[in-house]
Amino acid sequence: MKTYIILGGNGVFGVHTAAYLLKNANPRKVICVGRNGEKLPAYTLDVGRGDSRYAYHQIHIVYEQDRLFELFDVEKPEVIINFAALAHGASWAKSWRFYDTNVTALAKIVEGLLSREYLERWIQVGSSELYGAVDSPATEETALKPSSPYGISKMAGDLHLVSMFDVRKFPMNIIRPSNGYGEGQQLYRVVPAAVVFGLTGQKLPLQGGGTARKSYLHAYDIASAIHLIAEKASLGKIYNVGPPDPISIRDLVAHVADALGMPFDNLCKMTPGRAGEDAQYWLDSSAIKQDLGWKPEISLEKGVKDMVNWGKKYLDFLRTESNEFVLRA
């Protein structure tokens, strides 16, 4: 039995990973840490409610690292999973904030953990954006060519971890998932936005006509990959995790329209594309399949249908929520 601490545990992927671990890992504890107070059930999905193995702590990893290490030293986690990051492709304004969180705070935490013998594994959640736009599936050996301050900050964090493993033997792994989605996701992301816009009779602004192609993986499948890495991976290994093929944003939103039972043209309106957006993200996930036996289980059709059901369940609340991204420290 192990204690897992999930940094960034108030976000959709932290929530789904906590749910997966509570169900499948036989943990001693699963502790989520987020910068805000715990969110309402539409976002937390009531994960951990009534389970004595679960806890949530509000701690800001940039400004409250003293409190963070106090928690570490009390709970002595064998595994720390780091989702905590400023994560948005439109990172050109106040770009330094992305480096504060994704590089500097990470480096401070890692250095502080070097002396903590209870830590067996740090799992860093990276990004497919590190590879930039690609014409064929990127492997873990593909050159890193991020095209935004966000992508550059995530690359710097990964490279720092690699050097700390090579020189200081810091026990880490890196997972680079494709774009993720799942019930409880913030409304500035395309899938939940399309669901709520459709359910409320609004038209979703489709940037650039939705021609950009990305790979979409359900949060459950990201969580299952993380669990396999925590249990089986050799330390220092980096794994890509994504579906076999990418999909255009237009076709992704068309899946939402189908699940809602409405014509595509009734759901969307075309708007100009985002500055600097890459044309295609695409990952080769053969390494984690061969080494650890991972495979995705949630089809896009099922995942989108589950998102629509989530939207219907919490619609009274979600219709009051903003779909604008707000950059915060």
Q: Are 234 and 171 in contact (CB under 8 A)?
A: no
Q: Is residue 27 part of a domain?
A: yes
**Residue 23 domain flag:** yes
Asked if residue 132 is part of any domain, the answer here is yes
Render 143-179 in DSSP notation, one character per residue: PP---SHHHHHHHHHHHHHHHHHHHH---EEEEEE-E
259 confidence band (pLDDT: 50, 70, 90): very high
Domain contains 288: no
The pLDDT confidence band at residue 233, using thresholds 50, 70 and 90, is very high
Structural domain includes residue 300 = no
d(CA 63, CA 35): 10
- Region of poorest pLDDT, from 152-166, 246-260, 274-288, 309-323: 274-288
User: Do residues 94 and 240 touch, judged by C-beta distance below 8 A?
Assistant: no
Higher pLDDT, 292 or 277: 292
Can you tell me the mean pLDDT for 307-320?
98
User: Does 301 map to a domain?
Assistant: no
Q: What is the CATH number of the domain that holds 117?
A: 3.40.50.720
Model pLDDT for residues 171-188, shown as the tens digit of each residue? 999 999 999 999 999 999
Contacts of 165 (CB under 8 A, 6+ apart): 171, 172, 235, 236
pLDDT of residue 88: 72
In a domain, residue 249? The reply is no
Q: Are strands 121-125 and 179-181 parallel, antiparallel or unpaired?
A: unpaired
What is the number of structural domains in the chain?
1
Domain that holds residue 100: 3-180+217-241
The model's pLDDT over 53-88, given as tens digits with 9 standing for 90+, comes to: 999 999 999 999 999 999 999 999 999 999 999 887
Whole-angstrom Cα distance, residue 75 to residue 116? Answer: 12
C-alpha distances in Å from residue 314, one per residue of 32, 115, 178, 194, 199: 23, 45, 26, 15, 11
Residue 163 lies in a domain: yes
pTM of the model as a whole: 0.95
pLDDT in tens, 22-59: 999 999 999 999 999 999 999 999 999 999 999 999 99
Report the pLDDT value the prediction gives residue 94, as an integer from 0 to 100: 87
The pair of three-digit structure tokens given for residue 187, joined into one six-digit string: 């409304």
For residue 327, the model assigns a pLDDT of: 67
